[in-house]
Amino acid sequence: MSFLREKMGVILVIVIGLALFAFVAGEVIHFGGSFFRGDANTIGVVADEKISVQEFNQRVEQNTEQYKQQSGQTSVSPQILGYVQENTWNQMISRSIITSQIAKLNITVGESETKSLISGNNPSPQIVQMFGNPQTGQLDRAQLNNVLSSVNAAKDGDPMKKQWQEFVAQIIESKKAEKYVSLVTNGLYVNSLEATDDYEAKNKLANFQYVALDYASIPDNKVTVTDADYQEYYDAHKKLFVNKQELRSFKYVAVNGAASKEDSTAIKAQTEKLAQDFKTSNNDSLFVQLNSDTKTPIVYRKKGQLDPALDSVMFSAAKGYVYGPYLSNGSYNIAKLIDSRVGPDSVKASHILISAQSAGGEEKAAAKIDSLKKLIQGGRSFDELAKLFSDDKQSGEKGGSLGTFGRGAMVPAFDEAVFNGSKGDLKVVTTQFGVHLIRIEDQKGSAKVVKVAIVNKPIQPSEKTRSTAYSKAQAFLASVNNGDFDAEAKKEKLTVQQGTDVTGVAAGIPGLDNARDLVRWVFKSEVGDVSEQVFTAGDQYVVAQLSQIKPEGQLPLEAVKTSILPVVRNKVKAKQLIEKMQGAVNGASSINQVAQKVGGKVTPAQNIVMANPVIPGVGVEYSVIGSVFGSQPKKVSKPVEGKSGIYAFVVDGFVKPAPLSNLVKQKQQLAQMALQRSQGQLFEALQDKANVKDYRAKFL
């Protein structure tokens, strides 16, 4: 039962990570939706299916716990939480979209097929992952059969049976999704002509000479861009201006409230006083708990595991020596040598882990470990009990063996137990993972280790510094409410910065960390609104004004004018430069004559291939390289509009590749590439059709 309980924690990831959503792997998709739509309980809509905020939050909590278990952390940063929320959202909409398509096509998995997926000759990848032998990677059928026997013998309603049924249901859903993807991918085909064209595009070489008139040769202030110019470009590229989600932009001023030199001096003085008290302390552990902002575990460490400033002094210092204050990672620290000794370099150990989650609480986990310890002391096999009961299945399958590891490889409490014990000891230790029964099998090597207690005081802004900065931001807010944002900022000598195209679920923007409250305000406001309060983002005090809303869907020209100005301006320049280049090309018999007429120079380009349309020293030029491969040698081309300028060229010649020797292999390679592309494109098409609505901005 404990085996299943431990593995059920992984199933949350398995649902998405294996065949069920294999074709969406690696996709990070953001979906749009106005903040003001939706109801009070709906965080998103996929087709006609609503996603409740309660369900979403529950999944986020599960995934967060999964992350903490895998990383060994007890808490998550705002950035990690944002990642978990985004990943959870993508998982939920992916599952909803695919499940809907499977239902429409009535894709099923029969009873005999289900049995084959569990215990047949070609079992499901989930089964192999859960019951695989870590040494061989092969399915351990004995272990699988033991679990199947236990499940079959269990009564209806038994937690183990319920967990198994849920697991099998997920395997079935995975197989359905695999069938759905196959319906699409089995229709892909690469013919001989496509294979041959691809081979030539990658291997046929072009050698040519060109003359270029760069857009930069015309100063920007010499060009007038009209509304007609904007409209012409916009009409020709409308597909580029479709928003998949609502984006908003704002301008802001940020008053810096970071620690001042006076703050740093005061903290150093405080740490110097603590250093004197530390020298006379009789309870160093308590002193650290009471005075250190970061509670660094007081454990034995070997050379190289301490801060470099300490590493150079503590291994030759006397017991009780206090070093510091010294500056490290934005903190003033003091350190005291508690003890030094010679200890092993490495330890070989095994353990049995009972997690509080699987046991129903830490006390029950400790009681179970105590019972196992008594059984072992009474003669039962440690290895066998580890296989049967340990919640760490990776080591449990090896009799609990963790192998040989060095100091610092494990969490501090575990490290202390195995490195300070003796060979043959059975030790009980509690960590964030649960309660461990540890068997020390061997200790090797010897080296000097030191136990150092560290008190740290981060350099943080004082209340006076924060208050001064906040007051300045508050004064600016009061003044801007009655005037122009930019004018008031200039008057107060504050720099106006931009938050551009921010999503409704952003946790921060470049330069502003932990700015969730600010982003939430941005998505509640109207263009021109000034924030009704001063927002705190790290050490910054921020006043903002909403400047633009880009709604989901086709953006109007006015919304993109600023962003397309550089390329539209180049289009206007191109008209002038094309005329100049055409005048030079007319009547020219060589590329050198063209260069003389425009006052340019001839530049050679050698061994260029169509599949990599890069002009050395210039960059990607699709139109130019495409024109080169469509031209006749020894003939001056017409002017070609490129990304960086206007070109004229002469092809010296082409070098044809050797005949394609293995057409079948070439077709297979292209088919594989098409398969990989199709899987992502399939989901994008389904997502567009599902009309996903995202209301997370008003809940997160």
From 338, 398, 377, 352, select the one nearest 134 (Cα to Cα). Answer: 398
- CA-closest candidate to residue 151, choices 118, 178, 128: 118
Instruction: Give me the amino acid identity at 670.
Output: L
Report pLDDT for 631: 96
d(Cα 473, Cα 456) in Å, to the nearest integer? 31
DSSP alpha helices (H): ranges in 303-400?
Answer: 308-311, 356-359, 362-377, 382-389, 393-396
Confidence at residue 39, expressed as pLDDT on a 0 to 100 scale: 60
**Nearest alpha-carbon partner for 298 in 444, 166, 450, 151:** 450
d(CA 14, CA 18): 6
Place of tokens 């009873």: 111
Return the pLDDT at 69.
66
| Ramachandran class of 254: left when φ > 0, alpha when ψ lies in -120 to 50, beta otherwise | beta
What span, in angstroms and rounded, lies between the C-alpha atoms of 182 and 169? 20
CA distance 59 to 551: 28
CA 154 to chain centre: 42
Give the pLDDT confidence score for residue 385 in this predicted structure: 87
User: Quick check: 390 and 400 in contact, CB under 8 A?
Assistant: yes
Q: What is the DSSP letter of 638?
A: P
For 365, the token pair is 């986990």
Q: What distance in Å separates the CA atoms of residue 343 and residue 119, rounded to the nearest whole number? A: 49
Both structure tokens of 366: 């400790």
Give me the helices (H) in 154-251, please.
Answer: 159-185, 192-203, 227-236
CA-based angle 652:653:657, to the nearest 5?
A: 150
Report residues of the chain scoring pLDDT below 50: 1-38
Q: What is the identity of the amino acid at 666? A: Q
Is residue 47 classed as helix, strand or coil in its secondary structure? coil
The dihedrals phi and psi of 647, each to the nearest 5 degrees, come to: -120, 150
Token pair in block for residue 202? 């990658």
Distance, first Cα to last Cα, the chain: 37
3-state secondary structure 233-262: HHHHCHHHHEECCCEEEEEEEEEECCCCHH
- DSSP H helix total and E strand total for the chain: 24, 23
E strand or H helix at 682, and its extent?
helix 663-690
User: Which candidate, 421, 400, 405, places its Cα nearest to that of 350?
Assistant: 400
| Residue 80: C-alpha distances to residues 64, 71, 84, 85, 116 (Å) | 9, 11, 6, 9, 39
Which residues lie below 8 Å from residue 378, measured CB to CB, with a gap of 6+?
A: none
Q: Are 203 and 609 in contact (CB under 8 A)?
A: yes
pLDDT score at 33 = 32
- The span from the CA of 484 to the CA of 490, in Å, is 10
E strand or H helix at 335: strand 331-343
Please state, in angstroms and rounded to a whole number, the distance separating the CA atoms of residues 488 and 493: 8
Are the C-beta atoms of residues 250 and 522 closer than 8 Å to each other?
Answer: yes
